[in-house]
Structure 1
Amino acid sequence: MSSWSAPRAQRAVAGEVQIPGSKSETNRALILASLSIRPVSIYNPLAARDTELMARALTGFGARIARGGELWRVTPAQQIASPGTIDCGLAGTVMRFCPPIALLASEPTDFVGDAQAGGRPMGGLLSGLRQLGAAVSGDSLPFRVTPPRLWTRSQVSVDATSSSQFVSGLLLAAPRYPNGLRVDRIGQMPSAPHVDMTVKMLRRAGVAVRSGPDWWQVSPGQIVPGIIHVDPDLTNASAFLAAAAATGGSVTVPNWPETTTQAGDRIRDILTQFGAKVEFDSGSLRVIGDQLAGIKINLRSASELTPVVAALAALADGDTTISGVGHIRGHETDRIAALATELSKVGAKVTPLPDGLHISPGPLRPATLQSHADHRMVHAFSIIGLHADVEIAGVECVAKTMPDFTDRWHNLVQG
């Protein structure tokens, strides 16, 4: 496990940061391309551990993926094969998007992952697969999926209170099911914009999707994505923009989409609430920092931003309450517990709540902070490191979505 000394800001942080492609869009694009009727080009895909795990899984199903920098070429499988075993790592998109594809194979598929992967919720999705006639061993990783002998069902009810990925995973494979699929949601679903992203990408690929407040209907048919362009990962961008807000600086992210279903786009409103000025002009987003003020905010629709928001809260003038994110206890780590433990080390008073956190800033002090094998923790603690001597242990986990995060961060802060 490697450690990294987060650079202190000797001045207001200023600069421009190019952000690699969205993980969420890349992995959805890879699936649609692998299930399509003809080869597909994907521009600006993210090259990181989560997308590599997805590419390997889809190659196991029979697709061929030629990686070439900013352009990947996907040749779909003529027939879905059984890959034997799929390594999901700690990637929620792999462990939740690939099991529904396994129903199209003729033989069972085993799913395994990192040591922490067994703690990530899977029950809602696996229940949906059982309703479709599949045999599934267990309710968390590792598990085996055996395809149904006969397709007798085309409607499932899914408890999505733990993850919107349960719904997205079923919808992405549904066009290839004999009768399509209707998914009825049970419970309040977090991160709804991610399902909006799935539906938007399906429709762009020629798939007929109807939906209501708590249901989705996908018609069977051909998937024809054509050329897929991947936007920058706006959640990854949030840490760099937060550096401007935390230091009274100015940071610009180019190629920010004018319209998007990425939940990370909400960082614009969040930083404005904290007191920063946010400008969007000619496809670039610029944040100009000022004095940070504590806020009250519900992040149910954008819970991936919780670690960055919590870090800013520890630097703000006044208390912050984050709500609507109880489900992040089942992310890469228990993010509520991890943030409470680690931010307390640097002087903040953090109170875990049933669905969030209450953070009272305090005098900062040096500390060694644990990443908990969670890339978002590294992003958050790097923000704290702008104002305190912080050593981050386990920094290699940033490979999940941005392998060169520490280099990009150092260049921005020290450049």
Structure 2
Amino acid sequence: MSDSSELWPAPSARGLIEAELTLPGSKSLTNRALVLAALADGPSVVGRALRSRDTLLMAQALTGLGALVGTSGPDWSVSPAAFDRDAKVDCGLAGTVMRFVPPVAGLSTGRIDFDGDPHMRNRPVGEVLLALRALGVRIEDDGRGALPFAVLGQGSVKGGCVVIDASASSQFVSALLLAGARYDEGIDIRHDGKPVPSLPHIDMTVAMLRARGVEVDDADANRWAVAPGPIAAVEETIEPDLSNAAPFLGLAAVTGGRVLIRDWPTETTQPGDALRDILEQMGCTVSLDDDGLEVRGPDALRGVDLDLHDVGELTPAIAALCALAESPSHLRGVGHIRGHETDRLAALATELNALGAAVTERADGLSFRPAALHGGVFHTYADHRMAHAAALVGLAVPGVLIEDVATTAKTFPGFADVWAGLLS
């Protein structure tokens, strides 16, 4: 990665943008597939795996637990973990590594130490650790409920029923579901608290478990039960990352142009699929066929009133579009994204307002009034989605300088080069 103090001039559009592109694979699908492959009953293949900082950190974490992960080509081979050694896990800024790997580490006979980038010590993981303790797993965290911590496995986990508050992150549920089939009694997760955000990500986890022969009962609200049993080894091809499509589809939305994302799935559990409806509400023309997803932008973007509770990761890109819209907007239901890579609500309000936008930060969202924007420095807070938002604003506003655009390598290495190439 480049020096985080480096400022990257966001290219502005000189007219309508016409582009067709293929996106890298989904981070969410890749990291879930890697975890399940490490727990499977034989060798697996993760086809078209995303190669990014987050997925390589996951591969390294599972390798530390004794799995063999071949990451040299586009299709990654995975042999199951031995779970017979001590290891140190670097979580970086990857919430999936920090939350998904500890329930797996409970199956090890070794001491597994977890830490990550400085900001990761502020991201919530305590509910996962409390759940593991309730299931009999020994955790050392000096009472912090946060990084750094250690999981001291006994070679097996009894499992059973556990009650958690997953209102801060759906990943708390997914983390326990992914490993639960390997627990002696499976796992029965009950959520007690405010509504769980990003429920489509739990649906994604359940679908991937069922595709590997795991029995999952999710018939009742706020309850997910996984029966004990083997996890079948599979060969899976990873879908394009639909959340990473947001800035690229925004090229059409902002410029009134046309963008085609190839290989867009006709059926998917990825929350990013919601972009189709959101962009239509903002005035775009959207069509999906065998070629992919095509978006044609309007003469001017309309403001929207949206509850993004289930698709919170789209908030930064949608916020950038709202700041450029000709009428007011309100984004609601996303108080939980204050616990993402940064406090995204505070960061978006601060950075957009610094460029002249009229953004009001609310407890669970943002409100926008139309305003004339100007150039300036847009800080990213080591958050890849903040960089995406800045790039979108830069399309329509000359002179936007993005601090640490290299943070986009978290889920899309080479983003800046691809973006600039589409605008050259």
Q: State whether TM-score is above 0.5.
A: yes
Contact residue 246 and residue 312 of structure 1 kept, 8 A: yes
Q: Secondary structure at the match of 1:42?
A: strand
TM value normalised by structure 2:
0.95
How far is the alpha carbon of 1:150 from its aligned partner? 7.9
Which residue of the partner structure matches residue 47 of structure 1?
A: 51
User: 2: distance between equivalents of 1:322 and 1:333?
Assistant: 18
Matched, 1:410 2:412: no
Root mean square deviation, CA, Å: 1.2
2:407 to 370, 393, 397: 397
Matched, 1:36 2:45: no
User: 1: distance between equivalents of 2:260 and 2:97?
Assistant: 31
Which residue of the partner structure matches residue 370 of structure 1?
A: 379
2:145 to 139, 164, 176: 139
Which residue of the partner structure matches residue 297 of structure 2?
A: 289
Which residue of the partner structure matches residue 206 of structure 1?
A: 213
Distance 1:152 1:240, change over 3 A: closer
Consecutive aligned runs of 4 or more in structure 1 exceeding 4 Å deviation: 148-153
User: 1: distance between equivalents of 2:85 and 2:315?
Assistant: 37
Matched, 1:228 2:236: yes
User: 1: distance between equivalents of 2:233 and 2:320?
Assistant: 39
Q: Deviations over 1:156-188 (max 9, x none)?
A: 111100000000000000111111111111221
1:385 to 383, 394, 400: 394
Distance 1:337 1:41, change over 3 A: same
Which residue of the partner structure matches residue 360 of structure 1?
A: 369
How far is the alpha carbon of 1:125 from its aligned partner? 1.2
Amino acid at match of 1:401: T
Matched, 1:156 2:162: yes
Contact residue 111 and residue 152 of structure 2 kept, 8 A: yes
Q: Secondary structure at the match of 2:46?
A: strand
Which residue of the partner structure matches residue 250 of structure 1?
A: 258
Which residue of the partner structure matches residue 101 of structure 1?
A: 104
Which residue of the partner structure matches residue 299 of structure 1?
A: 308
User: 2: distance between equivalents of 1:87 and 1:149?
Assistant: 22
2:21 to 17, 36, 41: 17
Amino acid at match of 1:221: G
Which of 296-305 and 33-42 deviates more?
Answer: 33-42
User: 1: distance between equivalents of 2:394 and 2:159?
Assistant: 53
Which residue of the partner structure matches residue 89 of structure 1?
A: 92
1:240 to 230, 237, 248: 248
Q: Secondary structure at the match of 2:236?
A: strand
Which of 112-121 and 122-131 deviates more?
Answer: 122-131
User: 1: distance between equivalents of 2:421 and 2:130?
Assistant: 46
Distance 1:36 1:381, change over 3 A: same
Amino acid at match of 1:272: E
Contact residue 34 and residue 59 of structure 2 kept, 8 A: yes
User: 2: distance between equivalents of 1:135 and 1:203?
Assistant: 29
How far is the alpha carbon of 1:283 from its aligned partner? 4.2
How far is the alpha carbon of 1:147 from its aligned partner? 2.8
Matched, 1:63 2:63: no
Contact residue 347 and residue 361 of structure 1 kept, 8 A: no
Which residue of the partner structure matches residue 340 of structure 2?
A: 331
How far is the alpha carbon of 1:341 from its aligned partner? 0.5
Distance 1:340 1:373, change over 3 A: same
1:120 to 114, 118, 123: 123
Matched, 1:270 2:278: yes
Q: Secondary structure at the match of 2:388?
A: helix
How far is the alpha carbon of 1:67 from its aligned partner? 1.7
Which of 297-306 and 68-77 deviates more?
Answer: 68-77
Q: Secondary structure at the match of 1:261?
A: coil
Amino acid at match of 2:202: V
Q: Deviations over 1:327-371 (max 9, x none)?
A: 000000000010000000111111111110111231111111101
Contact residue 133 and residue 147 of structure 1 kept, 8 A: no
Matched, 1:171 2:177: yes
TM value normalised by structure 1:
0.97
Distance 1:149 1:407, change over 3 A: closer
Q: Secondary structure at the match of 2:101?
A: helix
How far is the alpha carbon of 1:123 from its aligned partner? 1.7
How far is the alpha carbon of 1:22 from its aligned partner? 0.1
